[in-house]
Amino acid sequence: MLFFGSNCEKMCLVQFSLISLIPTLMRHLRDCADPRMDYYATHVEKPTSLKTSERASLLAYMGVPLQIFGKGSLFGPYTPLQQLDTLADQHTKSYVVGSTNQLLLQQKDRYADILVNLDDNTINIHSPSLRNALALSTADRRWIDFLTQSVHDTWDENIPSRPKDMGYAGSEEFIRLQFEEYLLSLLSASKYSRFVSSHKGDPKALLSEVEGDPAMEFGSEFMNQWSLTENYALFERTTDSHLFDVVEPRHPCAGGLTIEDVQRRLAAQVSELHLDERWRGSKEAVGKHISTGRERVAGAINTLWADIEVMREAQRKRVEEQKAAAAVAAANNPPAPDEKSAPKGEFLSPVLCQSLANTHISGPSPGISASSIFTRRCLSIIMGSMGFRKAQELAEAREQCRRANNRNPASYPDLGGRGF
């Protein structure tokens, strides 16, 4: 097991806190400095007496401490690079070490089956067989959930060393006693499991209040792997075979699977997915994109309105220029007189009316050729501008002149255009 962290003090403190959860192990670290040391295993003796009123006597009778740092094992809270050869030695079977060097982190597959990264607060198990052995059973998960919930409910951020209600639950002593109870129950269940295996044909020898094999509550794979270690061999050699008569061979949170266990398991699996962290990052990214999109849309709308205003101003100027050009053109080129502005028939002199009528009806007279040409030109201009109605007025004027003079219009003297 490799602990890695940039803070050396925190890294060492976490390791000592971990091994202190095994009762009395902190006072038996004589053999932890080198894998060749084995003083404890060669000098420990099997207890022959028990005083249940004394905690030290009870722990010694139960085989505690479990000497995990014996021959072939090493404990180095802060391991220098000079000890890498010791870690890779074939006689080193297990170790718990800590380092702040990135070199060990880069070669984690070589030097660590379990990597505890204190900078990232992560635990990575690289060995598949070890991962299966360390999988929590239903009772284990129920027990650790109870313990963590007790600490969480009584945690005081201002004074972490004591519960906020100054009670016993959630305190350091409470946590240590919970691990001690768990460990003693495990040792007792292990002894009872071997006893059941050796007395399968004698049901009367079994405990009536215990059903089945209680060791399975601690995880069958873990119990099988532990039974193959030197630590288990030392435990079997230095303890009595009937430890289950002293401590009940039962898991502290034993019991069948319940709805609460399923809910707790689902909640744990969801928390392992880190959905909150992923959603937090996605939420920030979505909010950022929405804010950026809103700014872009607002900018596009503002630009569009500005372009529309420019187009409207250009169109207004163009219309004004067209109006000004039309006014100048109208001043330079006055329009031709229309039907309403043409002179009325009553303003024509009787002489001109009679001459125009005779010319239009009977043709020009031989005696007034120049006047006839002028009269025809005037008639064509008047007929073209005044239309058919004016022609009728001319005809009526001719008839009035004929009745008034009762003479031939051809006998009128030639006025030479002075009648206009």
Per-position DSSP letters for 221-248, written without gaps between them: HHHHHHTTSHHHHHHHHSS-TTGGGTS-
**What's the confidence (pLDDT) of residue 376?**
55
Which residue's structure tokens are 């004027």?
397
pTM of the entire predicted model: 0.62
Q: What are the contacts of 396-402 at 24+ separation with CB within 8 A?
A: 396/345, 397/345, 397/346, 397/348, 397/350, 397/353, 397/354, 397/357, 398/353, 398/354, 398/356, 398/357, 398/358, 398/361, 400/350, 400/353, 401/350, 401/351, 401/353, 401/354, 401/357, 402/354
**What's the confidence (pLDDT) of residue 225?**
92
Beta bridge partners of 94: 73
pLDDT in tens, 160-181: 778 888 888 888 899 999 999 9
Residue 116 phi/psi, 5-degree rounding, is -110, 105
Residue 22 phi/psi, 5-degree rounding, is -85, 115
**What's the confidence (pLDDT) of residue 4?**
93
pLDDT in tens, 325-383: 888 887 777 655 544 444 444 444 444 445 544 544 444 444 444 445 555 555 555 55
DSSP label at 339? T
Angstrom distance (rounded) from CA 246 to CA 269: 37
Count of alpha carbons within 13 angstroms of residue 281, beta-carbon side: 4
Secondary structure element (H or E) that encloses residue 87, with its range:
helix 84-87
CB 62 within 8 Å of CB 184: yes
Count of alpha carbons within 13 angstroms of residue 307, beta-carbon side: 6
Alpha-carbon dihedral angle through residues 107, 113, 116, 120, given to the nearest 10 degrees: 60
Low-confidence ranges of the chain (pLDDT < 70): 257, 264, 268, 271-283, 334-395, 397-398, 401-420
**What's the confidence (pLDDT) of residue 377?**
52
**What's the confidence (pLDDT) of residue 118?**
93
**What's the confidence (pLDDT) of residue 181?**
94
pLDDT in tens, 49-86: 999 889 999 999 999 988 899 899 999 999 888 888 89
